[in-house]
Amino acid sequence: MQIQMNVNGADRSADIEARTLLVHFLREDLGLTGTNVGCDTSSCGACTVHVNGESVKSCTMLAVSANGETVTTIEGLASGGEMHPMQTSFMENHGLQCGYCTPGMVMASVSLLKENPNPSEAEVREGLEGNLCRCTGYHNIVKAVLAAAG
């Protein structure tokens, strides 16, 4: 099937199998491998991207369902060589170790603050419930998101 979408500011089109998951389209057709796959049950959130500005687990969406939409991946978050404030905050607060969950965690966190610019610690924890991390114990992730909120 022919699809087209705007990904990180560029119009992309491709001929793909109808069953192709959005995450596999991004990773394997567009080479945007920053978005990771951590599970097969939509549980871990490693594949979180933004579709029209909203957090989406890209393993749960068919690429054809994103036809005509605007997608932002972790590669599209930094601009002009400067990391996004959320990326900087993760670095400054040691909110990542192995870094595998990190792209999804950052994308979910950006989305969280967009919906709730001044969350409490409990609201951050609740807001990130769909994103699993095995390294950090979440302490520094929560700290990073709260710091980014200012």
Contact between 7 and 71 (Cβ < 8 Å): yes
Instruction: Name the one residue in this structure whose structure tokens are 């991946």.
Output: 73
Dihedral, CA of residue 36, residue 7, residue 145 and residue 99, to nearest 10: 30
Q: Across the chain, how many H-helices and E-strands are there?
A: 5, 5
Instruction: Check binding of 126 to other proteins (CB under 8 A).
Output: yes
Residue with tokens 């709730």: 116
Q: Does 132 bind other proteins (CB under 8 A)?
A: yes
Instruction: Tell me which amino acid residue 135 is.
Output: C
Q: Tell me the per-residue interface mask from 45 to 64 with other proteins, x by CB under 8 A, - otherwise.
A: -x------------------
List 65, 70, 97, 116, residue binding other proteins (CB under 8 A): 97
CA distance 128 to 147: 15
Residues 24-43 that bind other proteins (CB under 8 A): 24, 27-28, 32-41, 43
Cβ-based nearer residue to other proteins, 69 or 125:
125
Beta bridge partners of 121: none
**Exactly one of 64, 106, 110, 149 binds other proteins (CB under 8 A); which one?**
106
Residues that bind other proteins (CB under 8 A): 17, 19-20, 24, 27-28, 32-41, 43-44, 46, 73-75, 77-78, 83, 87, 90-92, 94, 96-103, 106, 121, 124-126, 128-143
